[in-house]
Structure 1
């Protein structure tokens, strides 16, 4: 376990996790307003589009972070799968930060 703060691509990944989670929240609230209270579909219209863009951004950043930070295959797979269920990217990012996945590893010495 490490307490180093993320830098570079690690910060970008953390931001992508937050954005993806916030747009999921907006979409869930929009679905509540549209399907439960039947008051408006504006939330689904707006956050559906925002979340679609945020999801694609998150996947691209996750793959770039995995390559740049040399994640093991299971961490890369978990990061991509975390975008599917609502709000999983936020606790996953916290866990990745604690595990040291968001900081660059020193180059191997010859």
Structure 2
């Protein structure tokens, strides 16, 4: 849901930029820039929150983060991850990333 919202906010920002540079109306960029920044931040935070329970590898997390940079790439990433089953919680007893970090920190203590 956040990936699609990020793509829509990109579209809104691009339209606002067209109004700014084509018709000299800059208020839209101010508003849509703020909206896109908030949704972009929400997408990055969502990726950081779900990568451990979904047991993503580091490279999948990097791909998710990088997909937030080009316009509409978050939707492409969502579809790619969905086809590979990366958006479903795996049915396994293997520890999550943070579970492994907790274990290492406990052992070091």
Both proteins in one fold, TM over 0.5: yes
- Distance in 2 separating the partners of 1:29 and 1:69: 35
C-alpha separation between the residues in 1 aligned to 2:81 and 2:37? 23
Name stretches of at least 5 consecutive residues in structure 1 with no aligned partner. 1-14
Q: Which runs of 5+ in 2 are unaligned?
A: 95-109
RMSD: 1.3
TM alignment of 1:30-41, pairs within 5 A: 30-35=16-21, 37-41=22-26
More relative contact order in 1 or in 2 (CA 8 Å, sep 6+)?
1
For the pair shown, which has the larger CA radius of gyration, 1 or 2? 2
Partner Cα separation in structure 1 for residue 51 and residue 76 of structure 2: 18
TM-score, normalized by length of structure 2?
0.81
**In the alignment, does 2:10 pair up with 1:20?**
no
- Stretches (4+) displaced over 2 A: none
Count of residue correspondences: 94
